[in-house]
Amino acid sequence: MIRFDHVAKRYPTGHEGLSGVDLYLQAGEMAFLTGHSGAGKSTLLKLIGLLERATRGQVWVNERNLNKLRARDIPYHRREVGMIFQDHRLLHDRTVFDNIALPLVVAGMRHAEVRRRVRAAMDKVGLLKKEKVFPITLSGGEQQRVGIARALVSKPPVLLADEPTGNLDPDLSREIMELFLQFNQVGVTLLIATHDVDLVNRLGKRIINLRDGRVATDSGVPG
Amino acid sequence: MARRKRARRFKRRLNPVTWLLRHAQMSLSSLGRLSRNPISTAMTTAVVGIALALPGGLHLLVGNVSELGGSWEGSASISLFLSQGVGDEQADSVRQQIALRDDIAEARLIDRHQALEEFRRLSGFGEAIDLLDQNPLPAVVLVRPGEHAQGKDAVAALARELQEFREIELAQVDLQWVERLGAITGTIERAVLVLAVLLAGAVLLIVGNTIRLEIQNRHDEIEIVKLVGGTDGFIRRPFLYEGIWYGLFGAFIALFLILVSLYLLDGPVQRLAGLYQSDFSLTVIDSASLLGVLLGGPLLGLSGAWLAVGRHLAQIQPE
């Protein structure tokens, strides 16, 4: 599902975000990206979501070579990759419902279908009663759930999360991880960047540790 | 995973009904957005309206005046002043002679007596006239050229021919001031055109700048929409509709301003026309001006928005 071939990313400032990463995630796999800040976790996720392009090597997502994707194809690629952020990235002048509906509206889905799917996504993250509420009135954990619902509402095959529990207390963090495990059970490929090593160790999933822009350890390289 | 080249293609086309529906929703939601900032919207549309009303209204005014000139030019007449010595009977026979010509539609005699009466009545020098022993005014034959002798040159040639009559002292074509009027309106028309181009540029800049600010205000939203897979077209659309709305409302304001101006001008113009014994009055707005303002406004708004969007949207990329 996701493949990195000798991928390097050098920023215009000269900083090297990634230097030679080889990585392969099977469809339906769930993996955690760990490492110190600056190790390249965010850069790696950005390359998958095409927020950045690799300067060397090749990135494959969903059977597509992202290097060869033209600029006008990027939006369509992003519809197949759900992204979750530490700071949620919600629209504060729109209701929870409208926030979650955004990917579907953008894709031109019919109104009735949008309602049905948004409800289902809200149900999944346990926010069903909050649809007319504005995000600012929600707690940090609830806002993150809105972000998660928005990422999964269009049923993308790949879900990326960058420090999704970064601002949450341990209980809420565990709940969010539980959600991710559920998604994984229905076949979604997940790649989650986190520095919460204790939590991910307990989950028993694949852990990819980055150091200085390279893969330092990888707990489960598939054969 | 197998590495297949050019694997699956993205499904990009929407079905036409969805597409249309989306456009309708988008246009209404931009309208809603504008109505949520009534003051700034009103100011922008008012500026657009004034910028459109100026060339639109002036065009209408110039059109009216040149139409007036045109109607006079068509009925250009020649005044034949007869020599002092020509008596009334002789004058009438001159008139008959001239009236028989093919190229004359009508010839009317104002004999010396009538001329005096008219002069006494209109000039205000009646008492001065009474002091004179004899009538100083010549008889005049007013000639309206026939259909063969229309147009400036033909009328002038006719006048030259009539000048050959022994009894005719002077043949004068009453066309010169119509020509001058035509030249003046021509100049003003050109000036209005230049003004229209300048003000169209102003509308582009006004709408473009408003949209630019709007894009800046919605920076975060644009970023997020790009993150969840919004195409450039999708992001561009509400701003383009806003431009169209600004232009359209500006056009309505312009039409209103033009109608009010016409109403205010109509009284004085009729009084002025009355002094020249004309029943000229300003026409209500003609279909060309109406269409020009109603189409030009939205088109300029759209272009202004397009300029702003093209410049600023690409600069916003999610991080």
Residue pLDDT, tens place only, B204-239 = 999 999 999 999 999 999 999 999 999 998 999 999
Other beta carbons within 10 Å of B154: 15
- Can you give the pLDDT at residue B160? 85
Tokens coding A141: 């954990």
Nearest CA in chain B to A109: B18
Higher-confidence position of A189 and A111: A189
- Which residues on A lie below 8 Å from B315 (Cβ)? none
Q: Is the model's pLDDT at A199 over the cut of 90?
A: no
Size of interface A-B (CB pairs under 8 A): 75
CA torsion B51-B54-B55-B61 (nearest 10°) is: 160
The beta-carbon neighbor of B22 closest among A27, A72, A108 is A108
Q: Which of A6-20, A186-200, B163-177 has the lowest mean pLDDT?
A: B163-177
Other beta carbons within 10 Å of B50: 16
Sign for the CA dihedral angle at A118, A106, B41, B295 comes to negative
Q: Residues A141-146: what's their mean pLDDT?
A: 93
Q: Chain A closest CA to B290's CA: distance in Å?
A: 37
pLDDT tens digit string along A29-84? 999 999 988 889 999 999 999 999 999 999 999 889 999 999 889 999 999 999 99
Distance CA B51, CA B204 (A): 10
Asked if the Cβ–Cβ distance from A108 to B19 is below 8 Å, we say yes
- Can you give the pLDDT at residue B47? 94
- Can you give the pLDDT at residue B317? 85
Higher-confidence position of B206 and B74: B206
Q: Is the model's pLDDT at B10 over the cut of 80?
A: no
- Can you give the pLDDT at residue A33? 94
DSSP run (H or E) holding B274: helix B232-275
Nearest CA in chain A to B221: A91
| Contacting residues for B76 by C-beta, under 8 A, at least 6 apart | B145, B152, B155, B173, B174, B175, B178
Domain coordinates in residue numbering, chain B: 23-72+179-312, 77-174
- Report the mean per-residue pLDDT for chain B: 84
Asked if the Cβ–Cβ distance from A1 to B10 is below 8 Å, we say no
pLDDT-derived band at A159 (thresholds 50, 70, 90) equals very high
The beta-carbon neighbor of B228 closest among A60, A93, A103 is A103
Q: What are phi and psi of A18, to 5 degrees?
A: -130, 140
Residue ranges matching CATH 3.40.50.300 in chain A: 1-80+158-223
pLDDT-derived band at B149 (thresholds 50, 70, 90) equals low
Q: Is the model's pLDDT at A213 over the cut of 50?
A: yes
- Which residues on A lie below 8 Å from B26 (Cβ)? none
- Which residues on B lie below 8 Å from A78 (Cβ)? 226-229
Q: Residues B243-271: what's their mean pLDDT?
A: 92
- Can you give the pLDDT at residue B224? 95
Q: Which of A21-30, A198-207, B105-114, B269-278 has the lowest mean pLDDT?
A: B269-278
pLDDT-derived band at A109 (thresholds 50, 70, 90) equals confident
Q: Is the model's pLDDT at A6 over the cut of 90?
A: yes
Q: Candidates 3.90.105.20, 1.20.1050.10, 3.30.70.3040, 3.30.420.10; correct CATH number of B77-174?
A: 3.30.70.3040
- Can you give the pLDDT at residue B288? 80
Q: Given CB atoms, is A187 within the 8 Å cutoff of chain B?
A: no
Place of tokens 């991880």: A177
pLDDT-derived band at B269 (thresholds 50, 70, 90) equals confident
What ipTM does the predicted assembly reach? 0.92
Strand partners, A209: A34, A217
Q: Is the model's pLDDT at B286 over the cut of 90?
A: no
Inter-residue contact B143 to B106 (CB < 8 Å): yes
Report the side by side order of strands in the sheet with A2-10: A16-25, A2-10, A56-61, A64-65
- pLDDT > 90: percent of chain A: 70
Q: Which fold has domain A1-80+158-223?
A: Rossmann fold (3.40.50)
Distance CA A39, CA A42 (A): 8
The beta-carbon neighbor of B4 closest among A1, A63, A91 is A63
- Which residues on A lie below 8 Å from B22 (Cβ)? 108
Q: Chain B closest CA to A67's CA: distance in Å?
A: 12
Higher-confidence position of B59 and A4: A4
- pLDDT > 70: percent of chain A: 99
Q: Is the model's pLDDT at B183 over the cut of 90?
A: no
Q: Is the model's pLDDT at A22 over the cut of 90?
A: yes
pLDDT tens digit string along B88-124? 888 888 888 888 888 888 888 888 888 888 887 777 7
- Report the mean per-residue pLDDT for chain A: 91
- pLDDT > 70: percent of chain B: 92
